[in-house]
Amino acid sequence: MQKMDLHGLSMYDAIKLNLSGSTVETAISYYGKKYSFDQVIGMIDVLADNFAAEFSLGKGDTVTLCVPNSPAALLAFYAANKLGVAVNLVHPYLPPEKLAESAAKTNSKFILVYDLYKGKASDFSLPVLVSDCGHFMGTVARIYYRMTNKRTMEGGIPFEQFLKNRNRPRRPSESFSDTEASVYLASGGTTGEPKIIMHNNYVFNNLCAKAEEFLSEPIENYRALYNVLPIFHGFGLCINMHMCMMMRRTNIMCIKFDAKRSAKQIIKEKANILTGVPTMFLKLLGEKTFVNGDLSALKDVYVGGDSVPDKLIEDFNAALKRGGSSARMYVGYGLTETVTVCLVNTRAHHAAGSIGYPLSNTAVRIYEEGKILPPDEVGEIYLDTDQFMLGYLEEGSSPFAEIDGRKWLKTGDYGWLDKEGFLYFKQRIKNMIKVSGVPVYPSEVEAAVLTVPGVKKACAVGMADSVRGQSVKLFVEPEEGEEPDALKAKILSVCREKLIAYAVPRVIEGREKLPVNLIGKIDRRALEES
């Protein structure tokens, strides 16, 4: 891949430079409809011209996108970026009052929502654009979409009218300095008060330019990536969307993960790269279309965003092999504060059980009580990388520490390093349970429980205990046909065998389905509050 200076380069300009020299023509494949790179760039340019004319949108402004994966999301993002406009990306399920609050905090000029959004234009004091997600689909998919989904969004300006070429003067692309925010991402999910994280263009362009560090083969051997992680997610935005555009690879877009439909799409469109969180891959393993299908096109599978059971990796790798693929499932680690992944297992560097090996210009240390810990000792993970955020939009406590003249991010995660430099995850500090003041790691409880035949998913949380302060409560999603009482007995038996006494769950509650958020992670907070 061509080497070049990425500082000061907008994401829009990066995709126009065709860094990889690819001959792949299709930019977006979206439920039966394909759009070429020329078509996509053309729509972005027209959209930018019309945004500027209709909303006086320009350098220094902000817009808010509240949309799932769709061509509209991609087009609006790059049109804003071309104009020097920052983009505030929020969860498409965000309630109207929270959406209005986020738009106000970022001084947005307008909000883009989708036609299934549960709100109305009158809920907001600024213009609301509404995208018909079915508009970009092929005929059959569009009919299905419109038949099975009731329109819930009331009012608003049709987004699609801004795609019409009105022969307005072509707006030039604006540059950003490395100190200017181009993207706002939320640090949390749909509940609580997440921090708004500011990123510049450089960190996205830079991480995409590192693609050859984590891909198993040269970039020219790849054609398409299956895109299911949402655009408001750092990985979804950077690797799934921007890398495809910047490296001229096909983005197979999925508006929402559905295991049955996704399995068919992955196989039919011969996706080379698959990314997701553990629950997504567990669901794929339950689909006969996937486990019995031709998976030979897959070259790399990446998982992260949550604890990854060893059994999942083993089972998925076995499915890949049966399907004729040379790919393996690789675990990676990163935070929204670092855009996304900054450590990852690869074909060249991997260690069983680890969450990755540092990418270039990334260093890892393990600290406890201000001291650097040696290999194999557990403490808080500190990172030094060229993928740091600019900061939080609103001032508050800083997650950074200056040590030995270097800037380190205090991740809030516990883990350890081995002698070779691979990182191992122990527990998110805020999720740790303290029983009589002694730490219990939910990940260890869950790992033990997931070895029990009949357990599909597990989540351990802390519950109030008048004697111990906290004790362990376990939520379990059983495999179909499992008898609840018998399963509980098996779980307790295994836990008593594998765990220290105070880590054994005091309460076990079976759920037909454990709650998950939009990207498929178990919603731990919802279980804690239930």
Mean pLDDT of 498-505: 92
pLDDT digits 0-9 by tens, 385-402: 999 999 999 877 789 999
User: How does DSSP assign 372-411, residue by residue?
Assistant: EPPTT--EEEEEEETT---EESS----SEEEETTEEEEEE
Taken in order 522, 303, 138, 67, is the CA torsion positive or negative? positive
Residue 409 has a pLDDT of 96
pLDDT band at 518 (very low <50, low <70, confident <90, very high): low
The CA-based dihedral angle spanning residues 296, 299, 302, 308, taken in that order and rounded to the nearest 10 degrees: 50
Q: Tell me which DSSP letter residue 360 carries.
A: T
pLDDT band at 189 (very low <50, low <70, confident <90, very high): very low
Rounded CA separation 279/3 (Å) = 37
Residue 192 has a pLDDT of 44
Q: Identity (one letter) of the amino acid at 239? A: I
Residue 432 has a pLDDT of 83
Mean pLDDT of 501-513: 94
Mean pLDDT of 433-460: 90
Which pair of tokens denotes residue 52? Answer: 């500027």
pLDDT band at 525 (very low <50, low <70, confident <90, very high): confident
Mean pLDDT of 496-525: 89
pLDDT digits 0-9 by tens, 313-345: 999 999 999 999 999 999 999 999 999 999 999
pLDDT band at 191 (very low <50, low <70, confident <90, very high): very low
Residue 19 has a pLDDT of 61
Rounded CA separation 300/449 (Å) = 28
pTM of this structure: 0.87
Give me the architecture of the 11-168+176-256 domain, per CATH. Answer: 3-Layer(aba) Sandwich (3.40)
pLDDT cut 70: percent of the chain above it: 97
Are 436 and 502 in contact, with CB atoms under 8 Å apart? yes
The β-bridge partners of 463 are: 471
Identify which has the larger pLDDT, 129 or 304.
129
CA 172 vs CA 200, 245, 300, 388: distances in Å: 19, 19, 37, 29
Q: Are strands 157-158 and 183-186 parallel, antiparallel or unpaired?
A: unpaired
Count of CA atoms in the C-beta half-sphere (13 A) of 528 = 16
pLDDT at 516 over 90: no
pLDDT digits 0-9 by tens, 465-493: 888 889 999 999 999 889 888 899 999 99
Are 472 and 437 in contact, with CB atoms under 8 Å apart? no
330 phi, psi to nearest 5 deg: -115, 140
Least confident of 130-144, 258-272, 461-475: 461-475
pLDDT cut 90: percent of the chain above it: 79
Least confident of 27-36, 233-242, 422-431: 422-431
Give me the architecture of the 432-529 domain, per CATH. Answer: 2-Layer Sandwich (3.30)
Mean pLDDT of 272-296: 94
Residue intervals in the chain for CATH 2.30.38.10: 332-428
* Helix count and strand count (H, E) for the chain: 16, 28
Residue intervals in the chain for CATH 3.40.50.980: 11-168+176-256
pLDDT band at 428 (very low <50, low <70, confident <90, very high): confident
pLDDT band at 33 (very low <50, low <70, confident <90, very high): very high
Mean pLDDT of 364-384: 95
H helices of 83-160, in order, are: 96-105, 139-148
The β-bridge partners of 112 are: 65, 129
H helices of 421-523, in order, are: 442-449, 484-498
How confident is the prediction for the chain on average, in pLDDT? 92
Residue intervals in the chain for CATH 3.30.300.30: 432-529
pLDDT at 20 over 90: no
Residue 188 has a pLDDT of 55
pLDDT digits 0-9 by tens, 447-470: 999 999 999 999 999 999 888 889
- CATH superfamily, domain 332-428, is Luciferase; Domain 3 (2.30.38.10)
